[in-house]
Amino acid sequence: MSWWSEFADRIEPDAPIGLSTWFQLGGSARYLFHPRDIDDLASLLARAGQEDVPFKVLGAGANVLVSDDGFDGVVVRLDSDTFRTTSRRGDSWEVGAGADLPLFAHQCCDQGFSGLECLAGIPGSIGGAVRMNAGGRSGELGDVVREIDTLRSDGFAETLTHDQIGFGYRHTELGDRIVLSARLALERDDPDRLKGRFDELLQEKRRAQPLGDKSAGCVFKNPEGHAAGALIDRAGLKGKRCGRAQVSERHANFIVAQEGATASDVLGLIDLIRERVRRAFGIELEEEIDIWRPVNTPKVHV
């Protein structure tokens, strides 16, 4: 009997998770787990911990690059109804980690609740968006998060307040805690005004970013005082290719995957960009996207 046999009806072995990321490339997960509820997730984590099997959570796959070798562990997907519900009490919203951020943001605008319209054009799940404090120049999700429920890697539940989450620029201090749900404080506003603002931001992004292509959004964080896109552009890298991966012609901080691209193509291009920007400006770019490399694989430098 395998260690995971009691979960067998909700585990897919050798699941091609790379294909469900926005890049639509990369390898498989040894196990893909769809927990029924929080207790089920806690039990799985405890068993995996006993077996020294690592785990990761995959949200909407909007900010993840899975290496071609995939992930040799359990990938959790919070896609059952339990993890996707949303409810409201007064102006306080509770939303499950598996809920879709753009859909929820739209729903809030429709119902006249302000706070998420600044996230127009940002794909992702609520859990992933909390973890990386998704946002842009007009605001960040962390601005409206009051507290979250999490599960620690040892299977214990923990509620964290806004301050304990440690929101920073595309950053939190959550470590390997799994976000289960978030409570948001939104303010009432006129639905037409909110929808107008949402659509305006979405149009702006459509103009400036290759939203229709296979990508994971901005690849690098903006270094203090600089825009990564501008640095990559000034280094002359727009349109630069590595295999079937290409620096976007529209926004240089996006890498787009063309038909037949592999994760190695994208990783090669990331290394090349980092090296060229370092050489041209003496600035070290830090990745914003979450790269799932096989354990113990050193970074390759061009």
| 8 is a contact residue toward ligand EPU (CB under 6 A) | no
Q: Which of 233, 271, 275, 287 binds ligand EPU (CB under 6 A)?
A: 233
Q: Which of 222, 255, 267, 276 binds ligand EPU (CB under 6 A)?
A: 222
Token couple for 173: 């201090």
DSSP 83: G
| 224 is a contact residue toward ligand EPU (CB under 6 A) | no
C-beta closer to ligand EPU: residue 180 or 218: 218
Token couple for 210: 């290759």
Q: Which of 101, 180, 218, 255 binds ligand EPU (CB under 6 A)?
A: 218
Query: Under 8 Å CB-to-CB from 81, ≥6 apart: which residues?
Result: none
C-beta closer to ligand EPU: residue 28 or 253: 253
C-beta closer to ligand EPU: residue 30 or 241: 241
Cα distances (angstroms) measured from residue 108 to each of 12, 130, 142, 284, 291:
34, 17, 16, 38, 31
Name the minimum Å distance from CB 149 to ligand EPU: 25
* Strand-by-strand arrangement of the 86-89 sheet: 86-89, 92-96, 178-185, 145-151, 157-161
Name the minimum Å distance from CB 224 to ligand EPU: 12
Give dist(CA 258, CA 151) in Å, integer: 37
Determine the interface stretch with ligand EPU among 2-10, 45-53, 145-153, 229-237 (rule: CB under 6 A). 229-237
Name the minimum Å distance from CB 214 to ligand EPU: 14
| 136 is a contact residue toward ligand EPU (CB under 6 A) | yes
C-beta closer to ligand EPU: residue 45 or 122: 122
* CA atoms 176, 179, 185, 189: torsion sign: positive
Q: Do you know the residue count of the chain? A: 302
Q: Which of 251, 263, 267, 285 binds ligand EPU (CB under 6 A)?
A: 251
Give dist(CA 160, CA 155) in Å, integer: 15
Work out the widest C-alpha separation in the chain, in whole angstroms: 58
| 168 is a contact residue toward ligand EPU (CB under 6 A) | no
Give dist(CA 255, CA 191) in Å, integer: 35
Give dist(CA 70, CA 31) in Å, integer: 11
Amino acid at 122: I
Name the minimum Å distance from CB 255 to ligand EPU: 11
Q: Which of residues 191-210 bind ligand EPU (CB under 6 A)?
A: 205, 208
CA 150 to chain centre: 17
Residue whose C-beta lies closest to ligand EPU = 136
Name the minimum Å distance from CB 247 to ligand EPU: 9
Q: Which of 117, 149, 265, 288 binds ligand EPU (CB under 6 A)?
A: 288
* Contact yes or no for 27/71 (Cβ under 8 A): yes
| 221 is a contact residue toward ligand EPU (CB under 6 A) | yes
Amino acid at 216: A
| 253 is a contact residue toward ligand EPU (CB under 6 A) | yes
User: Which residues are at the interface with ligand EPU (CB under 6 A)?
Assistant: 136-138, 205, 208, 217-218, 221-222, 227-230, 233, 251-253, 288
